[in-house]
């Protein structure tokens, strides 16, 4: 089986696995909570590729080592906004951060405050 076919088969297996896991409400909540970081990482990867930069080239521009960029892309965790800004600068991009109020829906999405 060629590399492309293996990747496609692996993607299909993952999609089936993910669909099964998403049936669990707790898993779904945690997965959806990570979606904003996943979206940022996807944007970084897409822009790096669009700029025809390797991970090593991006790392050099950011002032870090290639394994740091590889971990970022693989694990999907942004260290902090300063690091994200350095990556954005290296990619000739800008960071936009917004807070968007949740729709009013009672206690949904809010943590209860215990009064003492």
Q: Please provide the average confidence, as pLDDT, over all residues in the chain.
A: 82
pLDDT of residue 113: 47
Q: Is the pLDDT of residue 116 over 50?
A: no
Sort 90 into a burial class: Cβ within 10 Å, 0-12 / 13-18 / 19+.
buried
What are the distances in angstroms from CA 97 to CA 35, 81, 84, 103? 15, 9, 11, 19
pLDDT tens string 53-96: 999 999 999 999 999 999 999 987 787 899 999 999 999 999 99
Domain ranges for the chain: 35-90
Q: What backbone torsions phi and psi does residue 19 show, to the nearest 5 degrees?
A: -60, -40
CA dihedral of residues 83, 84, 90, 93 (deg, nearest 10): -160
Beta bridge partners of 18: none
- Tell me the C-alpha distance between 86 and 109, whole Å: 32
**CATH ID of 35-90, from 3.20.110.20, 1.20.272.10, 1.10.260.40, 3.90.105.10:** 1.10.260.40
């Amino acid at each position: 089986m060629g590399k492309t076919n293996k990747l496609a088969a692996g993607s299909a297996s993952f999609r089936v696995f993910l669909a099964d896991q998403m049936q669990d409400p707790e898993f779904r909540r945690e997965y959806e909570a990570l979606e904003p970081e996943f979206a940022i990482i996807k944007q970084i990867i897409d822009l790096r590729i669009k700029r025809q930069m390797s991970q090593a080239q991006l790392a050099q521009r950011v002032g870090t080592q290639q394994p740091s960029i590889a971990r970022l892309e693989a694990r999907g965790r942004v260290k902090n906004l300063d690091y994200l800004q350095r990556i954005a600068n290296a990619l000739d991009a800008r960071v936009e951060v917004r807070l968007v109020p949740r729709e009013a829906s009672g206690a949904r999405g809010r943590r209860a405050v215990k009064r003492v």
